[in-house]
Chain A
Amino acid sequence: MTSLAGTHSLSKYFNGVVALGDFSCTVAEGEILGLLGPNGAGKTTLFNVLTGLLSPDAGTADFKGQALVGRPVHKIANLGIARTFQEVRLIRRITVLENVLLCFKNQPGEKLFNVFFRPGLCKRHEAMIRGKAMALLETAGLIEKANDLADNLSYGQQKLLSIVCCLAADAELLLLDEPVAGIAPEMAERILAIIADLPKLGKSAIVIEHDMDALKSIAHRMIFMDAGRKICEGTPDEVLNDPRVIEAYLD
């Protein structure tokens, strides 16, 4: 498997507190990498650095051979990295369907010139992505909610929708921040099934999750981190049986 993305000696400090310390990792094409660690271990900081929301104090990150550090957020997203947020950030006062439509990249109707002078092109493209969006919502089991406001979805459905949005963006790397935390078991299973299928679509993912059983069921490889540093790395069994991990989680 060839490497899709990687970080090299990333460091990030917040007022002297180490959020990321000399952190290196890679994710291969079609791989699901699980990221484990106590609160404040720097997992979300890693996502924020990878997506350009934070700039690191040292180190580099790359995706498909392109350097990520210093690139604006929207350009990084355009390269093919999509993410979900721990606290679920959907656009709440537009419909579920519109949320999905919003995620498609490079729509001709997003340019004012096309809106006024090439309405036919815009209409055709809109119909095309609308079909794709409905198909994605159908697969995810959200089709009957398509015209509801995103705000009216349950928490679990919102998490599901945020993953559907990543699929609509057709990203090659998905960064999923606690995709099944705090939601009902059957909804969690639906979400885990979608994540487990990502490699079949040629996509990779880095998944942050505290639910170790859930993470074990989908991850090919795991990294355990604490205080911004990588403590251990390996197959799910290796990591979950590592004494340092057991200690951290049983305390």
Chain B
Amino acid sequence: MEYLLHIGELVCILAVLAIALDIVTGHMGFVSVSHAAFYGIGAYCSALLAVLCGAGFVVALLIGVFLSFLMSFFVSLPSLRLHDDFFVIATFGFQMILFNVFNNWIELTRGPLGIYGILPPVIFGWHVTTNLDFLILSLLFVAFAFFVVNRIASSPFGRVLHAIRENEVTVGALAKNARRYKVSAFAVSAMLAAMAGSLYAHYITYIDPTSFTINESILVLSMVIIGGAGSKWGPLLGAVVLVTLPEALRFVGMPSAIAANMRQIIYGLALVACMLWRPQGLIGEYTFGREGERK
């Protein structure tokens, strides 16, 4: 039972990340591989505040989210001028820089030793200690992220994002400042990712840089694409599938040493299979990529 709750936890945390990334990738059409970095900002910021200053969960979370909001401009202002592959490379660079900060700023982050002893959250008198409590809290986070993204997607703001996904030049000719939309959407996405990070730090109670690598970013991107980029339930489904599928290997009696490698193979295969046979993802409606590139 505890094991199932733990899997549920992981699904929720990654679902928040996938939903966050879907604003940028699914709705706006920009592939970002920097979300593990924002996830890390949220996690480190709230872990450090909790451990060093004894800050409560809510305060640490909000400050982490705010820092991630500020950091998002470092990525979005210079790199949202870029398109397609070039944007991916820019976000990749940011991901690498942040990972190295987590890994090498020993005085602050303790580098590869990580930060331990993060206390479980207390939210307005609610002591979140058991796995069940955590699952409830995580589900609330998922619901919040889901609400935010769907509210945006169904608003006139979201309509402009969808237009940017298809044809940015036309959006300018329609008297919309595409840059403003892109920067705002990226900021919201980074803030939601930081929320997931904060939750993760308090759940695992120990963080180290290996949780915030490029592999994590690519995993989240795979969830979005496999689930269905730009669709309502797609990223959520993607998170469920990509977390539970490798877990299932445990039950077919595969040794854990092989299972760890199988996990990577499964992610890769799933992504390739998706690109070949189901480019719109499991439940998505629109083929991933800009309109000029399809068919």
Contacts and interface: CB of A to CB of B under 8 A. Distances in A.
Majority-rule SS of B interface residues? helix
Nearest to B164: A91
B163 interface: yes
Interface in A88-136: 89-94, 98, 101-103, 105, 107-112, 115-116, 122, 126
A192 B175 CA distance: 25
Interface string B154-196: 0111011011001101111111111001001000100000000
B234 to A, nearest CB: 16
Contact of B156 (A53, A72, A91, A110): A110
A147 interface: no
A110 B157 contact: yes
9 contacts: A51-B173, A53-B169, A74-B174, A77-B172, A93-B291, A94-B159, A110-B176, A112-B188, A115-B155
Interface of A: 51-53, 72-75, 77-78, 82-83, 89-94, 98, 101-103, 105, 107-112, 115-116, 122, 126, 151, 165, 169
Given A74-B175, A92-B291, A112-B184, A98 B169 contact: no
A102 B160 contact: yes
Nearest to A115: B155
A102 B157 contact: no
A73 B163 CA distance: 16
Nearest to B152: A115
Nearest to A104: B156
B250 interface: no
Contacts, number: 86
Majority-rule SS of A interface residues? helix
A108 B155 CA distance: 10
Contacts of A101: 156, 159
Contact of B163 (A52, A94, A112): A94
A130 to B, nearest CB: 11
Interface of B: 148, 151-152, 155-157, 159-160, 162-163, 166-167, 169-178, 181, 184, 188, 286, 291
B172 A91 contact: no
Nearest to B290: A93
A93 B286 contact: yes
Nearest to A122: B155
Contacts of A116: 148, 151
A103 B166 contact: no
A112 B163 CA distance: 16
Contacts of A122: 155-156
Contacts of B160: 102, 110
A90 B163 CA distance: 9
Nearest to B165: A93
B184 A74 contact: no
A215 B175 CA distance: 28
**Taking each of A90, A101, A110, which has the highest tally of chain B beta carbons within 10 Å of its own beta carbon?**
A110
A141 to B, nearest CB: 23
B172 A98 contact: no
A161 B178 CA distance: 22
A44 to B, nearest CB: 13
Given A112-B157, A116-B151, A165-B174, 11 more contacts: A53-B169, A53-B173, A73-B173, A74-B174, A91-B170, A102-B163, A109-B156, A109-B157, A112-B188, A115-B156, A116-B148
A107 B156 contact: yes
